[in-house]
Amino acid sequence: MTANEIRQKFLDFFAKRGHTVIPSASLVTSEEKGVTDSTLFNTAGMQPLVPYLLGEDHPGGKRLVDVQKCVRTGDIDEVGDNTHLTFFEMMGNWSLGDYWKEESIKWSYELLTSKEEGFGLDPKRLYVTVFGGNTDAPADNESFEIWKKYIPENRIYFLTWNGKKEPNWWEAGDNGPCGPDTEMFYDLTEEGLGDLTKEEYLKADDEQKVVEIWNNVFMEYVKESGKVVGKLKNKNVDTGSGLERVCAVLQNKDNVFDTDLFASIIKKIDQHSDLKDLRMQRIIADHIRTAVFLIGDGVVPSNTARGYILRRIIRRAVRFEKQISSKNFLSELATHVIDLYKEAYPELSKNENFILNTLGEEEERFEKTLEKGLKEFEKGESPFVLFTTYGFPIEITRELAKEKGLTIDEAGFNEEFKKHQELSQTSSAGMFKGGLADAGEETKRLHTATHLLRQALEDVLGEPIGQKGSNITAERLRFDFSFSRKLTDEEKKQVEDLVNQKIAEKLPMKKVVMKKEDAEKTGAAHVFGDKYGEDVSIYYIGETLETAYSKEFCGGPHVENTGELGAFKITKEEAVSQGVRRIKAVLQ
């Protein structure tokens, strides 16, 4: 069964059981509806659905199913073994206060074992764990009794605190929804392990003779300050199953890189490899896949926050590419990744040129500094200088040192590097909602001017621009957008003149609310990769939506007429990162 078939069979199975199929959210986390931006990327299937798990109504109803794109980089140094990845797909079905444990367990078992509708796994190779209880909640006897209908009792295990973590309990930090879970494991051995005692099962798990292929979370409790303080308004079911791991099991592979998700990518890398190093080939395959999806969701390389993670991933891939080959082949790999995934994620094809151009520019940029940077490393140059002068992520410096048996005295980094880290962390944590500092009159004027600026940039530069962020205070506006070069003085003057012309025309600012699908058909601009609700507001500058000079998805606030703005002046235009420019402007 191919990965595409597995993905579709999963969606079809739950759609038949009343679940609404919803598309994957962007990899970029959303700050809407109180969701924090602390993780930068969606790292689990439940993350984009937190508002609905907390009680907000989902437009798709109470039963949902999806395959969510996820990125985790905490184990990036482990990539290259049999299982670790930075990008992965999480299959999940959800009950928002609808069905509970009986249906959830029954359907999980049917999907895993049914030869007609499901994956046709051997039920004799299944093992199940359930929550054994602690001071927060009692043992999950209900799940145990339900599982006994499908799995022999001696292959169902209550697990309790093991000294490192609480098995079969899900929570995200010390606050918020939480609850017990039940996990399903599959026997990968050729001979079959048969019935196991709990101790034998735990040993088989440690030796990876059995692998987790499904997890059902029964989310019914709420934690505050690390303690369960009550129950949620609704009982929710949150399930997850990694597509790559399921592919390995169903395709009889002992590692994810031999599945059809990776095999053809590895083959292409091998064709270009002078040095046949399997670990390096796997790292390149993983990293190029992750880079394609991140860029496809609007992330561009930079030295802070999401852009820094992407830059690190691309530059790691480039470094290993140079170690195994004399050729540049990352763009060819990226094209192949897009082709592999275009059916499931059509946005990759739509944004192919942007993906390939961004990747190619970053590879070229790093190539120019790699050789010199390596020479400086050999001379013993400090990690701070390697990072700030030569563009080496600190992690690459660590890897280079480790390969040569050296260690870095990170505690002895100079004060400049500490300050740089603090600035980067502040930048990551200080992202603002909607770009607005407040809703005062001056801020409203500058916010409205930003709409005019965006459209004027497109008119003058002659191509669509991707908005990458804005920050608007009562003193000035700051607007980030994707563009490959510095604006000329003449272009800046043309933009200023065009904005001031529209101000002089005293055009009305109007608003219309419509369904997202209809709103997209109007051609209204919206932030690439952002997540919007079912209904969206379009603010447009002009008499009608059809004839408007500017129209954008936006939440306000704005002035009523451009005549209220005054004179528009660009004070600065500069680079933020590779392929991203920043304009600062004021109203006089």
Residue 116 tokens, joined:
């007609």
Identify the residue with better confidence: 380 or 2: 2
pLDDT at 389 over 70: no
pLDDT at 433: 39
Residue 368 tokens, joined:
């120019």
Residue 493 tokens, joined:
């003057």
How many Å apart are CA 153 and CA 146, to the nearest integer?
10
Q: What is the amino acid identity at position 468?
A: K
Q: What is the amino acid identity at position 313?
A: I
* In the chain, % of residues over pLDDT 90: 56
Q: Assign 498 to helix, strand or coil.
A: helix
* Three-class SS of 383-437: HHHHHHHHCCCHHHHHHHHHHCCCCCCHHHCCHHHHHHHHHHHHHHHCCCCCCEC
Q: How many other C-beta atoms are found inside a 10 Å radius of the C-beta of residue 273?
A: 20
CB 259 within 8 A of CB 122: no
Banded model confidence at residue 386, pLDDT cuts 50, 70, 90:
confident
Distances (CA, A) of 399 to 82, 303, 370, 402, 407: 20, 19, 14, 5, 10
Identify the residue with better confidence: 441 or 48: 48
Average pLDDT across the chain, whole number: 87
> Pairing state of beta strands 509-515 and 477-482?
unpaired
Banded model confidence at residue 427, pLDDT cuts 50, 70, 90:
very low
Banded model confidence at residue 425, pLDDT cuts 50, 70, 90:
very low
How many Å apart are CA 558 and CA 434, to the nearest integer?
13
Domains for the chain: give ranges and CATH numbers.
3-258 (3.30.930.10), 263-429 (no CATH), 441-587 (3.30.980.10)
Count of alpha carbons within 13 angstroms of residue 137, beta-carbon side: 29
Q: How many other C-beta atoms are found inside a 10 Å radius of the C-beta of residue 406?
A: 12
Please, is 89 exposed, middle or buried when counting C-beta atoms within 10 Å of its C-beta (0-12, 13-18, 19+)?
buried
Q: Order of strands across the sheet with 535-541?
A: 509-515, 535-541, 550-553
pLDDT at 556: 65
Question: Average pLDDT of 72-88?
Answer: 90
Q: Assign 102 to helix, strand or coil.
A: helix
pLDDT in tens, 344-369: 999 999 999 999 999 998 898 888 77
pLDDT at 475: 79
pLDDT at 34: 34
pLDDT at 133 over 70: yes
- Residues paired with 582 in a beta bridge: 480, 574
pLDDT at 443 over 90: no
Question: Average pLDDT of 80-100?
Answer: 94
Identify the residue with better confidence: 427 or 257: 257
Segment among 155-159, 334-338, 399-403, 488-492 with least mean pLDDT: 399-403
How far from chain centre, in Å, is Cα 25?
8
pLDDT at 410: 65
Question: Average pLDDT of 159-163?
Answer: 87
How many Å apart are CA 104 and CA 366, to the nearest integer?
49
Segment among 65-69, 430-434, 476-480, 554-558 with least mean pLDDT: 430-434
* In the chain, % of residues over pLDDT 70: 90
